[in-house]
Chains A and B, each alone.
Chain A
Amino acid sequence: MSAAPVIPPTVRKTALNAVHRQMGAKMVEFNGWDMPVEYPASIGCGIVNEHIAVRTGVGIFDVSHMGDIRLAGPGALAAVQHISMNDASRLALGQAQYSALLYPQGTFVDDVIVHRLGEDEYLLVINAGTREKDFNWVRDNTRQFDCKVEHLSDDFTQIAIQGPKGVNLLQKLTDADLSAVKFYWVTRGTVCGLKNVLMGRTGYTAEDGFEIYIPSDEATSARVWYAVLDAGKEFGAVPCGLGARNTLRLEGKLPLYGHEISDTINVWEAGLDRFIKMEKAEFIGRDALEKARGQGLKRTLVGLEMVDRGIARDGYRVLDMSGGEIGHVTSGSPAPFLKKNIALAYVPPSQAEIGNTVQVEIRGQGVKAQVVPTPFYKRPKKS
């Protein structure tokens, strides 16, 4: 057993930090934030239980470390179109889309969810570790447009209510008709007595669910957190940490910045073709990606399932069957719901065929794995 890592003194805290500690959560440093990785077994938690709760019932996450950038004004749409790869002109009022901010070379500044909140108002929800970088990037690259860019990250406590029972839970706490809100749409309503709360049917768990944005003062944040947990009792709701958030998103093949996507990986390699709209007008990164498309891929993201005993972890080398290095694992873990050891990895297209066998190097030993279809997990369609 090795000692736990030391937390740097500059670490940031969400408004719910004291609540997590009071609940006995195990805290870790994540991208500069002191966050719960899992809650104690004594209250029915732990990564596996938290993960299963989200797949079968509902789990509650503090995701206030996520950042928020608002663009508002007559030029807001043009600005969003210029800095993001999906087509924001297709968004109806109250609709959201998965997208990404790209560098001119077609690699990732970050992935984002773009919400259209008003006629000329857009909200970008961004990653914790890239908050400042993203805001500076958006501000510096939208100066030519008639719109105001605001960094609202510290204004919100963001709580994710995820799982098939998430809608039932939140409906108990709001006057808004959630049955009318489709996946990747938002609404506003009163939640726990707070007026005009933004609620998005979005998440990072490959499950149905909502993310709500409430004022970030500690008292309000704690009151809503406990109200959500309390309302969830009848559905078996548990608080969930970043550990389960990671295994849930991995089963659903949702990319994590710094792993599947980064400033050295481009959109084609990451397999996010579905979310890029080359046919819309010019945007940052488009020209390089047009060129890259003609040149073919050097590497591509694949799903691996371990065939022999062993767990692939982030950064492990991927070898061909004769032991030559062909790539690396970007994320790897046991998958608690699927009960398999799975991984995402970059390999050359020649090794990417479904059913192809490769090896993952685990403590100096090649352990057999197979390329499998992704996502590993897809939530059942509602009848």
Chain B
Amino acid sequence: MSYPNDRKYTKEHEWITSDGKIGITNHAQDSLGDIVFVELPKVGTEVSVGKTFGTVESVKAVSDLYAPASGTVAEVNADLATAPENVNKDAHGSWMVKIKIKDPAELNALLSAADYEKFVAEEGAH
């Protein structure tokens, strides 16, 4: 699996684009298995970098979503309420929320596609 270069990644397996779209990685959807529920914040909610902003549930597990950057929720992908399985089908195409990024410099601290891929490989080797 290749990870797109148009975004940054976290060690908690989220991605964020420069215009503030946030989702989970292909590795994350694969680890979770069949995703059946995505709980997201309302438009206008403030999210803080490193803090939980939502939840994703598969048949077997509940996982928190951590914000890759601080900002205000501008849009929520409402499709995921009725079709959470879209995240399994296309994790990198299924954004969950779009935030208005407070400080674009926060993204510099995140992983590039290549670094994230390396991180996942190392994590799996344990």
Chain B interfacial residues counted at CB < 8 A:
26
Instruction: Point out the residues of chain A lying under 8 angstroms from B13, CB to CB.
Output: 1
A38 near B36 (CB under 8 angstroms)?
no
Stretch at the interface among A40-48, A111-119, A149-157, A252-260: A40-48
B33 A26 Cβ-Cβ under 8 A: yes
Query: Max chain A CB contacts within 10 Å: which of B31, B34, B59?
Result: B59
Scan A19-53; emit 1 where CB is below 8 A from any B CB, else 0.
Answer: 00000001000000000011001000011100000
Q: Answer whether residue B12 sits at the interface, using C-beta atoms and an 8 A cutoff.
A: yes
Q: Kindly state the separation between the CA atoms of A313 and B62 in the bound complex, as whole angstroms.
A: 9
* A189 within 8 Å of B (CB atoms): no
- Tell whether A311 pairs with B66 under 8 Å between CB atoms, given A1-B14, A41-B88, A47-B33: no
Chain A 241-263 interface mask (CB, 8 Å, partner B; 1/0)? 00100110000000000000000
Contact at A1–B60, with CB atoms within 8 Å?
no
Residues A46 and B28 in contact in the complex (CB < 8 Å), given A334-B59, A336-B59: no
In the complex, B47 has a CB within 8 A of chain A: no
Residues of A within 8 A of B37 (CB): 309-311, 334
Number of interface residues, chain A, beta carbon within 8 A: 23
B11 to chain A minimum Cβ distance, whole angstroms, is 8
CA distance A1 to B58 in the complex (A): 12
Asked if B57 is at the interface (CB within 8 A of a chain A CB), the reply is yes
Specify which of A46, A309, A333, A363 is in contact with B33 (CB 8 Å cutoff): A46
Central interface residue in B30, B34, B60, by most chain A CB within 10 Å: B60
Smallest Cβ distance from A27 to chain B, in angstroms? 12
Residues of B within 8 A of A3 (CB): 123
Among A1, A3, A6, A246, the one with the most B-chain Cβ atoms within 10 Å of its Cβ is: A1
A336 CA to B60 CA, complexed, in Å: 11
Q: Shortest CB–CB separation between residue B120 and chain A, in angstroms?
A: 11
Asked if A2 and B60 sit within 8 Å, CB to CB, the answer is no
A224-247 at interface with B (beta carbon < 8 Å)? 243, 246-247
Report whether A46 and B34 are in contact in the complex, using a CB–CB cutoff of 8 Å: yes
Is B65 engaged at the interface, CB distance under 8 Å to the other chain?
yes
Q: Is the CB of B34 within 8 A of A47?
A: yes
* Closest Cβ–Cβ distance, residue A200 to chain B (whole Å): 27
Task: List the A residue with the shortest CB-CB distance to B65.
Answer: A1
A residues in contact with B57, CB < 8 Å = 311
B63 interface hit (Cβ, 8 Å): yes
> Contact flags (1/0) for A323-355 with B, using CB distance below 8 Å?
000000000011010000000000000000000
B55 CB-CB contact with A under 8 Å: yes
Within 8 A of A (CB), among B27-50: 28, 30-31, 33-34, 36-37, 39
Judged by a CB distance under 8 angstroms, whether B64 is at the interface is yes
Distance in Å from the Cβ of B38 to the closest Cβ of chain A?
A: 11
Find out whether the CB atom of B28 lies under 8 angstroms from the CB atom of A1: yes
A313 and chain B: residue at smallest CB distance? B62
4 more A-B residue pairs beyond the given contacts A1-B63, A41-B30, A247-B59, with a C-beta to C-beta distance below 8 A: A2-B12, A46-B33, A48-B34, A243-B33
B residues adjacent to A (C-beta < 8 A): 12-14, 24, 28, 30-31, 33-34, 36-37, 39, 55-60, 62-66, 88, 123, 126
Instruction: Give 9 CB contacts A-B under 8 Å.
Output: A1-B24, A4-B31, A6-B126, A37-B33, A47-B58, A47-B59, A243-B33, A313-B62, A333-B59
